Amino acid sequence: MKTFVQRIRSIPIFRTLRFRLASTFLLLLTFITIALGLVGTALLRSILAGQSEQALIDELAAIRGYIHFDESDGHPYWFADMSDPDEAAAVDRLQRAYVVAGEDGTIWYGTTGHAFDPMTNRSTILQDLKQIEATKTPIFKTIPGDDYGPYRVVCSILVDTVHHRNWYVALGRSLADNTQLLNRFRRYYFFLFTPVAILLCVLASWFSAGRALTALQAVEHAARDITGSNLGLQIPPRGANDELDRLIESFNRMSRRLKTSFDQIRQFSTDVSHELRTPLTAIQGQLEVALFTATRPEQLREAIENALQDVERLSNLVRALLLLSYSETGQLPIHRTRVDLSEMVVDLVEQFQIPAEAAGVHLTTPHSEIVHCDVDRTQMERVVTNLLSNALKYTAAGGSVKAWAEAAGEQARIVVEDSGIGIPASHLTHIFDRFYRVPDPNPEKGLGLGLSFVSSIVKSHGGEIHVTSEVGRGSKFTVTLPARAVTKVAVVASSTMETRI
Ligand SMILES: Nc1ncnc2c1ncn2[C@@H]1O[C@H](COP(=O)(O)OP(=O)(O)OP(=O)(O)O)[C@@H](O)[C@H]1O
Ligand SMILES: [Mg+2]
């Protein structure tokens, strides 16, 4: 059973970012407006109460001037010039709610009426008199009053200095005006100002939240519109250098990266298909020719031999591609052990002596210091083997190839240097790309995968590979490895990774 809140939340518009932004702002404003209204009402009430008390104190001073005491019997009487309209009005105002009583609580003068009973109650008067004499300060109190609302009352003492007698005096002032003012303030504030402010705020926050999210929508549309054919789509930044611009910039960067990756994959697929097609076409051609034209067993044998060579090339290519893909995706298991790189290079140089001699190339290792490094021995042997086979392949008879390992501070280096044909500068940056081969009028068969494999193994060890080369003078490949390789590579169980390329 969905609760009411859950049901409300499941309505699409209530789940939008725009609604949430606007409603948060609105809730905050409503809360502040109501809090301000309550504080304002309380403040106004206290100001008005202060004003009423001040007016009562003034009136108390005035009544002292109008009430005199008879010299003979000491009885109080009103003394005012009623022909003076100002004085008559003042007396009239004072007499609206007042009480003058003796020390024994007997009412001498007083406003009559049920509403003023609390003022004329004898026991209350006696109690007030006691308190005033003790504290020497007037008493303020509020009585329910008549139909027009409550009264604020001040109680004090009139002193008859001739007869040394105290008289009780209480003056009341209607609070109807104050109540009316407060009610009016509340009405205007809560029923006019607050709804109008909230309405304006709803419109403004809805509009501004919408504007703020326009850029976000651009990102959303762009992401939605991306397909295989428009990868790399860019959203123009707004130039505000804010969070949204940073989001747009990140999106653009991601889009560019995706495009580069997709382009590489596309190029790779094209290259692979091309590489696979050539030997397949050759095999098909040879077998067809043999099938239709060969008459003698030697001819068939020769065709099968040629086809087998191409099949081997195909199978090498597939194996190399598999290894390369494992290596590049970090799935080639790397088992680090402490290896003396110099010893490893010397061993491999020895293994290459026979092909080197056959090619008439002088192959040596000039250095023999011990260089320890934590590497995967098999992988590192693949690196050196590839570099050595390239060096021999691209060095003409009479040339020389040198390979060695050396320590350089915290790092270890493996260097393979030859005096071969060299690599033109324009090709240097591409030779580590898959299937890249420097165009050669007399190209020796190669897949163009060796160096990309080398580079990915070196990277997975946390190292780097650099090449310097001069056409006609030779090339120098330098592999730099951190003495303690730090990069971790996901280990995937595999028992068929021993193929050398
Ligand atoms: N020592 C070198 N001297 C001159 N050119 C080189 C040398 N090493 C590599 N190259 C150039 O770089 C290209 C790429 O080398 P890479 O090892 O990737 O491919 P390959 O040797 O042609 O084929 P594979 O190694 O896959 O059998 C080579 O085709 C070659 O043109
Ligand atoms: Mg090679």
Ligand number, closest to the Cα atom of 416: 1
Span from the CA of 321 to the centroid of ligand 2 (angstroms)? 14
Nearest to 64 by CA among 149, 160, 130: 160
Atom 17 of ligand 1, residue of closest alpha carbon: 450
The closest-lying atom of ligand 1 relative to the alpha carbon of residue 474 is 3
Q: Which of 21-25, 115-119, 377-381, 491-495 has the highest mean pLDDT?
A: 377-381
The closest-lying atom of ligand 1 relative to the alpha carbon of residue 444 is 22
Q: How far apart are CA 194 and CA 46, in angstroms?
A: 22
What stretch(es) of the chain map to CATH 1.10.287? 243-317
Span from the CA of 446 to the centroid of ligand 2 (angstroms)? 6
Q: How far apart are CA 499 and CA 501, in angstroms?
A: 6
Angle at 128 between CA 125 and CA 132, to 5 degrees: 135
Span from the CA of 499 to the centroid of ligand 2 (angstroms)? 15
- Tell me if 467 sits within 8 A of 476, measured CB to CB: yes
Instruction: For a ligand 1 pocket test, name from 437, 447, 475 the mutation site with the most ligand atoms within 8 angstroms of its C-beta.
Output: 437
- The average confidence (pLDDT) of the chain is 86
Q: How far apart are CA 487 and CA 33, in angstroms?
A: 59
- Kindly give the interhelix angle for 17-66 and 85-94, rounded to the nearest 10 degrees: 110
- Rounded to two decimals, the pTM is 0.53
Ligand number, closest to the Cα atom of 421: 1
Instruction: For a ligand 1 pocket test, name from 275, 319, 389, 431 the mutation site with the most ligand atoms within 8 angstroms of its C-beta.
Output: 431
Write the Ramachandran bin of 149: left for phi over 0, alpha for psi from -120 to 50, otherwise beta: left
Q: How far apart are CA 40 and CA 37, in angstroms?
A: 5
Q: How far apart are CA 222 and CA 233, in angstroms?
A: 7
Three-class secondary structure assignment of 368-422: CCCCEEEEEHHHHHHHHHHHHHHHHHCCCCCCEEEEEEEEECCEEEEEEEECCCC
Separation in Å, CA 121 to CA 112, 163, 254, 449:
11, 25, 89, 114
Atom 1 of ligand 1, residue of closest alpha carbon: 391
User: Class for domain 42-181, per CATH?
Assistant: alpha beta
Ligand number, closest to the Cα atom of 456: 1
Which of the residue ranges 49-58, 218-227, 313-322, 488-497 would you say has the lowest mean pLDDT? Answer: 488-497
Write the Ramachandran bin of 115: left for phi over 0, alpha for psi from -120 to 50, otherwise beta: alpha
- Tell me if 63 sits within 8 A of 111, measured CB to CB: no
Cβ contacts of 240 within 8 Å, gap of 6 or more: none
% of the chain at pLDDT higher than 90 = 40
| Token pair in block for residue 66 | 């109008």
* DSSP-assigned states of every residue in 236-284: PP-SS-SHHHHHHHHHHHHHHHHHHHHHHHHHHHHHHHHHHHHHHHHHH
- The pLDDT value recorded for residue 445 is 65
Span from the CA of 482 to the centroid of ligand 1 (angstroms)? 25
Cβ contacts of 48 within 8 Å, gap of 6 or more: 178, 181, 182
Span from the CA of 437 to the centroid of ligand 2 (angstroms)? 9
Architecture of domain 243-317: Orthogonal Bundle (1.10)
- Tell me if 19 sits within 8 A of 13, measured CB to CB: yes
The closest-lying atom of ligand 1 relative to the alpha carbon of residue 416 is 1
75 by Cβ neighbours in 10 Å (0-12 / 13-18 / 19+) ranks as middle
Atom 28 of ligand 1, residue of closest alpha carbon: 437
**What letter represents residue 84's amino acid?**
D
Span from the CA of 375 to the centroid of ligand 1 (angstroms)? 24
The closest-lying atom of ligand 1 relative to the alpha carbon of residue 418 is 1
Span from the CA of 442 to the centroid of ligand 1 (angstroms)? 13
Span from the CA of 353 to the centroid of ligand 2 (angstroms)? 18
Nearest to 41 by CA among 177, 178, 152: 178
β-pair type (464-470, 400-408):
unpaired
Cβ contacts of 25 within 8 Å, gap of 6 or more: 201, 205, 209
The CB density around residue 61, as the number of other CB atoms within 10 Å, is 10
Q: How far apart are CA 254 and CA 259, in angstroms?
A: 9
Architecture of domain 331-482: 2-Layer Sandwich (3.30)
- Evaluate if residue 45 carries a pLDDT over 50: yes
- Evaluate if residue 221 carries a pLDDT over 60: yes
- Evaluate if residue 389 carries a pLDDT over 90: yes
The set of protein residues with a Cβ atom below 6 angstroms from ligand 1 is: 390-391, 394, 418, 420-423, 431, 436-438, 446-451, 475
| φ and ψ of 66, to 5 deg | -90, -20
Which of the residue ranges 90-99, 351-360, 413-422 would you say has the lowest mean pLDDT? Answer: 90-99
Question: 126-170: per-residue pLDDT in tens?
Answer: 999 999 989 999 999 998 887 777 899 999 999 888 888 899 999
Which of the residue ranges 11-25, 74-88, 294-308 would you say has the lowest mean pLDDT? Answer: 11-25
The closest-lying atom of ligand 1 relative to the alpha carbon of residue 436 is 14
- Evaluate if residue 398 carries a pLDDT over 90: yes
- Tell me if 37 sits within 8 A of 29, measured CB to CB: no
Q: How far apart are CA 131 and CA 161, in angstroms?
A: 21
Find how far residue 62's CA is from the centre of its chain.
Answer: 71
What stretch(es) of the chain map to CATH 3.30.450? 42-181
What stretch(es) of the chain map to CATH 3.30.565.10? 331-482
